[in-house]
Amino acid sequence: MWDADSGEELARLRGHEDLVWTVTVSPDGRRIVSGSDDGTARVWDAETFEGVEIIEGRGDVVAVAGGAERYPFRALTRSAETAIEDAATGREIAWSPVSLRRVVTHPSGRIWAGASGSYLAIIKLEGEPAAAGGA
């Protein structure tokens, strides 16, 4: 991180173990979120530059940065599948057997698009997820 006016280095955000391919800042400017080929998204405090959270999987860092109030669900690709999670709890509520790349989230927070090979896949979450331990 650098100061835009002076060019002075402020911090180096370390932790990813592979190429970082995307970075964004939360709408309120309080968080920085990075996505990496190491299969994680990392959340950093934008004031202290300390790591706040490590999220297993590849997903839309813009939606992660937007937070659970703005995007109550998030799609994360792990291994050979894509999971839909409750963003507040991290609880998996749905999944797709397709491993998506470069997932983006619709502003509604219930539709995701991503690439799988030469195909575009769209996932739509309908209804309300079952409560924890429910059917």
The enclosing domain of 60 has a CATH number of: 2.40.128
Query: Is the residue at 83 inside a domain?
Result: yes
Query: Is the residue at 132 inside a domain?
Result: no
Query: Is the residue at 11 inside a domain?
Result: no
Average pLDDT over residues 64-92: 92
Query: Is the residue at 14 inside a domain?
Result: no
Q: Rounded to two decimals, what is the model's pTM?
A: 0.83
- Does residue 101 contact residue 77 with C-beta atoms inside 8 Å? yes
Q: What is the domain range of residue 75?
A: 20-124
The beta strands (E) that lie in 1-135 are given as 20-25, 31-36, 40-45, 51-56, 58-59, 73-78, 81-86, 92-96, 101-105, 111-116, 119-124
At 87-96, the pLDDT tens digits run 999 999 998 8
In which residue are the tokens 């963003």 written?
Answer: 87
- Which pLDDT score, from 0 to 100, does residue 132 have? 52
Report the number of distinct structural domains present in the chain: 1
Q: What average pLDDT does the chain have? A: 91
